Structure 1
Amino acid sequence: MFDLFSPERLQQYAILAPGLLIALVCHEVAHGYVAYLLGDPTAKSQGRLTLNPLKHLDPLGTLAFFVVHFGWAKPVPVNAGYFKNPRQGMLLTAIAGPLTNFILAAAFATIIHILVSLEFTPGGLSEKIIVPTYLMAQAGVFVNLILGIFNLLPIPPLDGSNVVAYFLPPRMANTYMSLSRYGFIILIGLILMGRFSGYSLVGQVILPMVHAGVRILGVTM
């Protein structure tokens, strides 16, 4: 347990935390804001249309950050009953989160491109500012790509499931989305199956797409 707060771990947290915090908060705010624009005041009435991370942090997701270096935020509440077109509204609201993460990844990549063009004196003050900023921007690219791609998986209640549901007949879509209550169990099951079958959801599905995104953005990890 104490290793979780060793100097090396604390340094890792400091590098990962800014990008991950921005990724999680902006992802949820994007969902809530698009829902609000489409007529759903639920997120706004609950104070979730804010960049204040304390409004979005999930206790278990925060703990996971210290254990596995990744976490999650509390989902923003969305009431499709307010939408003029509920199916389209849920599609647009769902897409908003991952799209925001991809935009943030591009923004962090831009910071990296700017930093590598700067000259600095080794051991000087400029290096002590540029190098940590570079590492945090690098982490920002990585976590935003992972979060965006992960949420597009077609497993209810992840955002990708709402995209799939939009293209299904209404009755089939309702049956499909009813799996949301088992979504976490399904994900855990897929991860555990990967350990026995040699097929890794993260290693063979998500990471290759992350690496493709990294190449498109022209940065190195």
Structure 2
Amino acid sequence: MNFDRPGRGGLVLGVPREAFRPSPIFLTLVALFVASGVMAWNRYGNVRFDVFLFVVSGWLVSLCLHEYAHALVAFRAGDREVAHRGYLTLNPLKYSNVLLSIIFPVVIVLLGGIGLPGGAVWVDRHAIPGRLRHTLVSLAGPATNVIFAVALVIPLVLASDYDAHWEFWAGLALLAFLQLTASVLNLLPVPGLDGGNMIQPWLSPQWRRGYDLMAPYGFLLLFALLWNPRIGGWFFDVVFTVGDFLGLPAPLYGDGLQLIRFWQG
């Protein structure tokens, strides 16, 4: 990457360096994630609330990284406007739809224990040449969830005993499970979601027109699919199978879901 330094303020490919600095909001989320993890480990105060903070802050961090990955790959592929919009600062308030990207997914986590994908980063597709680059931009987000899931599962697999710090391990297992559900959901070929956007550039013009008509209703289509008992069952079968393959302890993430609902007593 080339650097241009006109005066005191540096530029990265024509964009001020400030556009790449992590925002205080994101750094606060990371600090909360680490601090609440330590509190859950040591059973400080109300341990159920500790686990709640641990899981929710960790999930918010992963959402920021998911959208950041989209923006970073788009920037490297040719869309410089993602930097000017603040997407590369990891600030969730800069997203084009905070409700769908942050608030709604957190509510779904608390109610149903599913890592729902959100639509946040607006990418100028006209600024990005080549179908492969478009696919990579869409793939970057789910790939981040996959990496996050594997990174969270590793300490769970290496741990020999969960009893001493059971609440912490349950929260970590739930967070890993959420990453698995987000990975699978984001890779589904649903119009408007990452999985659908990955294949959209490769469609024929006729199919692409139909895709573009359906894309705004991708979330509704996703809910309709998951509401169907058979399709929903297939979805969770895939998630459970992947979790078992990675070594994610099934009882633990169920315990974690109960723990984060601290208001239930």
Structure 2 residue aligned with 1:47, among 68, 75, 86? 86
Describe the shift of the 1:27–1:44 C-alpha distance in structure 2 as closer, same or farther (beyond 3 A).
same
Structure 2 residue aligned with 1:218, among 230, 235, 247? 247
Give, in angstroms, the shift of residue 108 of structure 1.
Answer: 0.3
User: RMSD value over aligned CA atoms?
Assistant: 2.8
State whether residues 85 and 94 of structure 2, in contact with CA within 8 Å, keep that contact through their aligned partners in structure 1: no
Give, in angstroms, the shift of residue 153 of structure 1.
Answer: 1.3
State whether residues 80 and 90 of structure 1, in contact with CA within 8 Å, keep that contact through their aligned partners in structure 2: yes
SS at match of 1:75: coil
Structure 2 residue aligned with 1:76, among 107, 121, 136? 121
**Identity of counterpart residues, as a percentage?**
28
Q: Superposed, which structure 2 residues align to 1:70-219 within 5 Å?
A: 70=114, 73-85=118-130, 87-114=131-158, 116-117=159-160, 127=164, 130-192=165-227, 194=228, 198-199=229-230, 201-204=231-234, 206-219=235-248
Give, in angstroms, the shift of residue 138 of structure 1.
Answer: 0.8
CA displacement 1:167-202 (0-9 Å, x = unmatched): 32233223223211222332333344x2xxx42x33
Partner residue, 1:32: 71
State whether residues 62 and 72 of structure 1, in contact with CA within 8 Å, keep that contact through their aligned partners in structure 2: no
TM score, norm. by length of structure 2 = 0.65
SS at match of 1:49: helix
CA displacement 1:109-128 (0-9 Å, x = unmatched): 112234x147x9x7xxxx4x
Give, in angstroms, the shift of residue 92 of structure 1.
Answer: 0.6
Question: Which deviates the most, 183-192 or 60-69?
Answer: 60-69
Give, in angstroms, the shift of residue 69 of structure 1.
Answer: 4.6
- AA aligned opposite 1:219: L
Partner residue, 1:4: none
State whether residues 23 and 143 of structure 1, in contact with CA within 8 Å, keep that contact through their aligned partners in structure 2: no
CA displacement 1:81-139 (0-9 Å, x = unmatched): 11121x2222111111111111110100112234x147x9x7xxxx4xx4343223212
Give, in angstroms, the shift of residue 67 of structure 1.
Answer: 4.1
- AA aligned opposite 1:102: V
Describe the shift of the 1:110–1:8 C-alpha distance in structure 2 as closer, same or farther (beyond 3 A).
closer
Question: Which deviates the most, 37-46 or 9-18?
Answer: 9-18
Question: Which deviates the most, 22-31 or 175-184?
Answer: 175-184
Describe the shift of the 1:15–1:203 C-alpha distance in structure 2 as closer, same or farther (beyond 3 A).
farther
**C-alpha distance in 2, partners of 1:47/1:161?**
25
Question: Which deviates the most, 39-48 or 49-58?
Answer: 49-58
Aligned length: 199
**C-alpha distance in 1, partners of 2:145/2:63?**
8
- AA aligned opposite 2:193: L
Question: Which deviates the most, 89-98 or 171-180?
Answer: 171-180
Question: Which deviates the most, 159-168 or 26-35?
Answer: 159-168
CA displacement 1:39-95 (0-9 Å, x = unmatched): 11232111111334444543444444444455554511111111121x222211111
**C-alpha distance in 2, partners of 1:184/1:73?**
9
- AA aligned opposite 1:215: D
Which consecutive unaligned segments of at least 5 residues does structure 2 have? 1-45, 251-265
